[in-house]
Amino acid sequence: MDRVVVGITGASGIPYGVRLLEILREFDVEVHLTCSPSAELVNKHEGDGRTWKEVLALADVVHDNGNLAASIASGSFKVKAMAIVPCSGTTLGKLAAGISDNLVTRAALVMLKERRQLILVPRETPLSSIYIDNMAKLSNAGAIIAPASPAFYNKPKTLDDNINFIVGRVLDLLGYDSDIFSRWEGSE
């Protein structure tokens, strides 16, 4: 069974992280979750009505973000990949500077040092030069930067269509096939 770490930070875009947790339950994967303290607050404003406790229950294992001794803080704990969805600008900055002062950043930096897959889904707009530089630095270090920029070729009709597109792309990067979004089939 694969292990995947999901990090949820306090950036706008909590529905992306929650939907990723929901869909990962359909696969043979053990999901480890850690969240920044502000993620719960953002969920109150952007969430679908679920309590934070209900969101956390979507994961198999929940780690306190302050516990730097958690299993996912060590490279000897084997995980397939980590996705931070959404990834705040603050988290991008800390990762680009190599700062591991919480479990989200520590687990992500472990992924980079172990050369394991790290997917970052920033949702900020507009992007400052600092954010762009941080994303470039992380990309050069091996992270995959997958901005939450939905497509429109699929003619989305609902907000869920846009959420599913982004989450479907993250699932692709993680190596899990899903049919939650319409793929480009070419043009005639």
pLDDT in tens, 119-134: 999 999 999 999 999 9
Identify the pLDDT of residue 145: 99
Instruction: With respect to residue 77, please indicate whether it lies within any of the assigned structural domains.
Output: yes
pLDDT score for 11? 94
pTM to 2 decimal places: 0.96
Q: What is the pLDDT of residue 5?
A: 99
Residue 139's CB: how many other CB atoms inside 10 A?
12
Is pLDDT above 80 for 188?
Answer: no
Q: Is residue 34 part of a domain?
A: yes
Residue 187 clears pLDDT 90, i.e. is over it: no
| Mean confidence (pLDDT) of the chain | 97
44-54 pLDDT, tens digit each: 999 999 999 99
Among residues of the chain, what percentage have pLDDT more than 90?
95
Residue 117 lies in a domain: yes
Question: pLDDT tens digits for 19-28?
Answer: 999 999 999 9
Put residue 49 in one of left, alpha, beta given phi > 0 → left and psi -120 to 50 → alpha.
left
Helix (H) or strand (E) holding 70: none
Judged against a pLDDT cut of 90, whether residue 185 lies above it is answered with no
Residue 54, domain CATH: 3.40.50.1950
How many structural domains does the chain have?
1
Is 186 inside any structural domain? no
The whole domain housing 7 covers 2-102+111-174
The pLDDT value recorded for residue 16 is 98
- 146 within some domain: yes
Residue 11 lies in a domain: yes
Q: Is position 170 within any domain?
A: yes
Is residue 182 one of the residues assigned to a domain?
no
148-183 burial, b if ≥16 CB within 10 A, otherwise e? Answer: bebbeebebeeeebbbbbbbbbbbeebebebebbee
Residue 186: the pLDDT is 86
- 156, two tokens: 């989305």
pLDDT at 39: 96
Distance (Å) of CA 127 to CA 10, 38, 103? 17, 21, 25
CA distance 181 to 77: 32
